[in-house]
């Protein structure tokens, strides 16, 4: 599947950000500030791991010859960080090739103007030409930074400092941590919108899905990546998880455990596909919890992952919708056609991978295989893989996009699900939120991971 996805991209869209398989052309999108080749950078480590050597060399050659950083558009700080910086860092740690290290650092420097705000909380958008920054227009009247965005820089920025010797990257993310640690949190919860000017929350919307998700993930992973020395990250993670459990966690009448969304105390009884990463996160964090909580977190992780599997199993295609609800007697299904699409997202197979590593219960490989079969049946087209508009229709209406995270994450997590545990051991690696592996900073480590 990876070979087919890569070769289709190479044939029709090499150097563009993403392949459009129906129209057989490339697409640049508007998130990357004029940078190209997002699929190349996002695919490097997956190709390398799968020992697709020729394909990896093609990707590497493109980075060496054609990946230019002298671009001048507006970029998403978050997306450039998780996809480009994350992809380049992993490629460096896996191969030791300098080109990846150098380009990661240069690109990191281009992101720094996003942090020029009164609080040091970065704005979401950075202009590569002028060095100005701004918030997304849709984020509480254009005045907010997004928790999942400014909260998902920590892993990559610490590695940028380690590989460049430049402390500025680490200082930026330590300051974000300090602001978040010191601020009052309603019921211990972290709302999704924060003003980078005043440092106050802008709206009391809390979600473990979109807008919030990877902030929580980066707390537990910061702890793990620090070889379990970053106590602050550890404490913030378990405190946040307790608040989520108290205020957002629910069990449906049919017995399905889910994490709802919280709006100033009122719950939306829905879970986004994005929130399904949380089964894996809770499993990953279970072993370092207080002893009396460990078994509980293992069980919670399994129950949430089971619910996410139900959202797949209850569709006609056996792929899950973008969001699913628990109300009016309907459970784990989308209630509007506008939420019925599947865009090749990874979160559910990501959780299967973590739960497999933790339990070795064969059910997770069975569920992963169901996804493989469904992808082959409904998402494979003649010229690459595509998302679909409606998981409840057996006649696929393709969305004409082979998302870069399909190659970075979905196919990588599926591959790891069917690999031995020492393939990127969780003792030695953490995955950034785009599934790019970064080495744990063991006290005796040389600074390079080695595969």
Which residues are part of the catalytic machinery?
322
* 94, 174 Cβ separation under 8 angstroms: no
Decide if residue 405 touches ligand DMJ (CB under 6 A).
Answer: yes
Given candidates 194, 433, 436, 440, which one binds ligand DMJ under the rule CB under 6 A? 433
Name the token pair of 107.
């690109």
Q: How far apart are CA 169 and CA 164, in angstroms?
A: 9
Decide if residue 317 touches ligand DMJ (CB under 6 A).
Answer: no
CB of 214 to ligand DMJ, least distance (A): 4
Taking the least distance from each CB to ligand DMJ, the nearer of 307 and 433 is 433
Decide if residue 345 touches ligand DMJ (CB under 6 A).
Answer: yes
Give the ranges where 165-277 is alpha helix by DSSP (H): 168-182, 213-225, 231-247
Backbone angles phi, psi at 381, to 5 degrees: -120, 180
Residues 199-218 that bind ligand DMJ (CB under 6 A): 214
Q: How far apart are CA 48 and CA 357, in angstroms?
A: 21
152-191 mask for ligand DMJ (x: CB under 6 A)? ----------------------------------------
Nearest residue to 19 via CA among 375, 350, 415, 398: 398
Taking the least distance from each CB to ligand DMJ, the nearer of 331 and 409 is 409
- DSSP E strands in 3-112: the ranges are 18-20, 25-27, 74-76
Give the ranges where 67-209 is alpha helix by DSSP (H): 77-79, 86-95, 98-111, 147-150, 154-164, 168-182
CB of 32 to ligand DMJ, least distance (A): 12
* 415, 54 Cβ separation under 8 angstroms: no
Decide if residue 272 touches ligand DMJ (CB under 6 A).
Answer: no
CB of 334 to ligand DMJ, least distance (A): 16
Given candidates 108, 110, 434, 437, which one binds ligand DMJ under the rule CB under 6 A? 434
CB of 150 to ligand DMJ, least distance (A): 13
Decide if residue 346 touches ligand DMJ (CB under 6 A).
Answer: yes
Give the ranges where 287-428 is alpha helix by DSSP (H): 291-313, 347-359, 363-374, 404-405, 411-417
CB of 307 to ligand DMJ, least distance (A): 18
Q: Which residue is nearest to ligand DMJ (CB)?
A: 433
Residues in contact with ligand DMJ by the rule CB under 6 A = 82, 214, 274, 345-346, 405, 409, 433-434
């Amino acid at each position: 599947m990876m070979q087919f996805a890569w070769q289709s991209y190479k044939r029709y869209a090499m150097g563009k950000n993403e392949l459009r398989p129906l129209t057989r052309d490339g697409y640049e999108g508007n998130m990357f500030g004029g940078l190209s080749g997002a699929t190349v950078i996002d695919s490097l480590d997956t190709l390398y791991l799968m020992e697709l050597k020729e394909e990896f060399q093609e990707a590497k050659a493109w980075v060496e010859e054609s990946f230019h950083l002298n671009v001048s558009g507006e970029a998403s700080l978050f997306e450039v960080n998780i996809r480009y910086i994350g992809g380049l860092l992993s490629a460096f740690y896996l191969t030791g090739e300098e080109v990846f290290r150098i380009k990661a650092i240069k690109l990191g420097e281009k992101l720094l103007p996003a942090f020029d705000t009164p609080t040091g909380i970065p704005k979401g958008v950075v202009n590569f030409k002028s060095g100005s920054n701004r918030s997304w227009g849709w984020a509480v009247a254009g005045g907010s930074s997004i928790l999942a965005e400014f909260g998902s820089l920590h892993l990559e920025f610490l590695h940028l400092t380690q590989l460049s010797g430049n402390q500025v990257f680490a200082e930026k993310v330590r300051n974000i941590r300090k602001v978040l640690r010191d601020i009052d949190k309603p019921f211990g919860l972290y709302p999704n919108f924060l003003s980078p000017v005043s440092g106050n929350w802008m709206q009391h919307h809390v979600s473990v899905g979109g807008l919030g998700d990877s902030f929580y993930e980066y707390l537990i992973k910061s702890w793990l990546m620090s070889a379990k020395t970053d106590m602050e990250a550890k404490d913030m993670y378990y405190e946040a998880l307790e608040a989520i459990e108290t205020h957002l966690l629910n069990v449906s009448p049919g017995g399905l455990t889910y994490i709802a969304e919280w709006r100033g105390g009122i719950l939306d009884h829905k879970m986004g596909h994005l929130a399904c990463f949380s089964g894996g996160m809770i499993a990953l964090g279970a072993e370092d919890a207080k002893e009396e909580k460990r078994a509980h977190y293992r069980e919670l992780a399994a129950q949430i992952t089971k619910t996410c599997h139900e959202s797949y199993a209850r569709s006609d295609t056996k792929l899950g919708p973008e969001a699913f609800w628990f109300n009016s007697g309907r459970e784990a299904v989308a209630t509007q056609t506008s939420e019925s699409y599947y865009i090749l997202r990874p979160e559910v197979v990501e959780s299967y991978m973590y739960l497999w590593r933790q339990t070795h219960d064969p059910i997770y490989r069975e569920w992963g295989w169901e996804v493989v079969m469904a992808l082959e049946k409904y998402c494979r087209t003649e010229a690459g893989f595509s998302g679909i508009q409606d998981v409840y229709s057996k006649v696929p209406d393709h969305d004409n996009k082979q998302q870069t995270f399909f190659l970075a994450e979905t196919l990588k997590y599926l591959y790891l699900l069917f690999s031995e545990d020492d393939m990127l051991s969780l003792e030695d690696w953490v995955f950034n939120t785009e599934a790019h592996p970064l080495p744990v900073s063991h006290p005796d480590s040389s600074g390079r991971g080695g595969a």
